[in-house]
Amino acid sequence: MKKMLTGLQPTGVITLGNYIGAIKQMVEYQEQYDTYMFVADLHAITVPNDKLDLSEKTRSLIALYLACGVDPDKVTIFAQSNNEYHTNVAWMLECNSYFGELSRMHQFKEKSKKSENFTAGLFTYPVLMAADILIYDSDIVPVGIDQKQHVELARDIAIRFNNKYGETFTVPEPVMSVTGTKIMDMIDPTKKMSKSSENQNGVIRLLDEPEVARKKIMRATTDSEMAVKFDVENKPGISNLINIYSALTGKKTEEVEKEFEGSNYGTFKKAVAEVTIGKITEIQEKYNEVLNSGMVDQVLKAGADKTREIAKKKYELVKQRLGFYM
């Protein structure tokens, strides 16, 4: 079975867009791959932030994924900082990476512009990410387009290391997350629904109070016509609501159009609000159950134990290849 690995930063709140575009897909992946999923908390400290609440955010993020259907019997779940081999291997890879190639990383160029005092960690971030990936001999790494260059760097580092010191790492493949449907902002439906969006009225969060989510949907921007028709160009707002309804009910676009033929927008929005609230309420109930059950800590402990064992072996192989006293 091929190995798949993905890292999630414990920042921001998860949106309905993340759920429909990424988490649902993860739940499908777990059936096909030997899946590893971890909280990239060491990456979260590369940008200064006084109020990270890493421990709280890590627990909450994992509880949310479990609530959405990620099965801890199928997926190995852990926190990056609980596995010291990631930073150990990263150091050895850093000494086999070049200043020039790291200087060319788009994310570094963009984020380092934001502050004069950016950290050294921001610069070496992609090498830690390479270690995350290479330690587990990951075959497949699903990432958003912004992270593709980092996975390509991990490939380059693996190939270089293997050529220089002998076969050590599997060369990974980046896989663009095929976001089933891109969910758009409720206020500006030409813009992606994004957790870092300035106006949160356009963003439905999985942990929004149901009545808050209802208001956001009832106030969603639509056109001045009256037809529930899928037409992204001329009716982006209605098309977005059709996409949400369709993703959450499993009905096809045409079926949705048929169901609401002759209905006004108010009726349609009410229906979209009902299914959305149904879904987020179900997720929130499970989320609270999971958080209160001690399951998150158990899962993270089991994940740490399992991955430390795997990572230790790889770390020792890397040391051996580099010729260290052992």
Residues catalogued as catalytic: 111, 192, 195
* 318 touches ligand LTN by CB under 6 A: no
Closest CA to 85 of 318, 251, 325, 322: 318
Q: Interface with ligand ATP includes 26 (CB under 6 A)?
A: no
Which one of residues 177, 201, 253, 263 is an interface residue with ligand ATP (CB under 6 A)? 177
- Among candidates 3, 10, 13, 12, which has minimal Cα distance to 213? 13
143 is an interface residue for ligand LTN by CB under 6 A: yes
Closer residue to ligand LTN (CB): 129 or 272: 129
Amino acid identity of residue 162, one-letter, is N
Kindly write down the DSSP assignment for every residue of 278-307, as one continuous string. HHHHHHHHHHHHHHHHTHHHHHHHHHHHHH
Structure tokens at 111: 């984020």
**Which one-letter amino acid corresponds to residue 206?**
L
* From candidates 129, 271, 300, 304, binder to ligand LTN by CB under 6 A: 129
Q: Tell me which of 26, 40, 61, 204 binds ligand LTN, using CB under 6 A.
A: 40
Residues 6 or more apart whose CB falls under 8 angstroms from that of 165 comprise: 321, 322
Minimum CB separation of residue 310 from ligand LTN in Å reads 15
48: contact with ligand ATP by CB under 6 A: no
Specify whether the backbone of 149 is left (phi greater than 0), alpha (psi in -120 to 50) or beta: alpha
For the CB of residue 318, give the shortest distance to ligand ATP in the complex, in Å.
30
- From first CA to last CA, the distance across the chain in angstroms is 32
Answer yes or no whether residue 6 interacts with ligand LTN by CB under 6 A: yes
Of 129 and 296, which has the nearer Cβ to ligand LTN? 129
Query: In whole angstroms, what is the distance from residue 279 CA to residue 292 CA?
Result: 20
Task: Based on the shown chain and the rule CB under 6 A, indicate whether residue 4 belongs to the binding site for ligand ATP.
Answer: no
7 binds ligand LTN (CB under 6 A): yes
Taking CB under 6 A as the criterion, the residue among 15, 58, 276, 307 binding ligand ATP is 15
* Residue 35: other Cβ atoms inside 10 A: 24
Neighbours of 156 (CB within 10 A): 14
How many CB atoms lie under 10 A from the CB of residue 81? 20
Q: Using the minimum distance from each CB to ligand ATP, give the nearer residue, 88 or 197.
A: 197
Q: Which is nearer to ligand LTN, 141 or 273 (CB)?
A: 141
132 binds ligand LTN (CB under 6 A): yes
Q: Is residue 144 a contact point for ligand ATP (CB under 6 A)?
A: yes
The answer to whether residue 22 forms part of the interface with ligand ATP (CB under 6 A) is yes
Q: Which of 24, 148, 160, 192 binds ligand ATP (CB under 6 A)?
A: 192
Rounded distance, CA 244 to CA 161, Å? 45
Q: Choose among 90, 80, 78, 13: nearest CA to 43.
A: 80
* Residue 93 contact partner, candidates ligand LTN, ligand ATP, none, CB within 5 to 8 A by sort of partner: none
Least distance in angstroms from the C-beta of 228 to ligand LTN: 35
Cβ-contact 214, 237 below 8 angstroms: no
- Which pairs with CB-CB distance under 8 Å and at least 24 residues apart come from 161-166? 161/93, 161/96, 161/321, 164/96, 165/321, 165/322, 166/321
Decide if residue 172 touches ligand ATP (CB under 6 A). Answer: no
23 touches ligand LTN by CB under 6 A: no
Binding residues for ligand ATP (CB under 6 A):
12, 15, 17-18, 20-22, 144, 177, 179, 182-183, 192-196
Binding residues for ligand LTN (CB under 6 A):
5-7, 9, 40, 43, 129, 132-133, 141, 143, 147
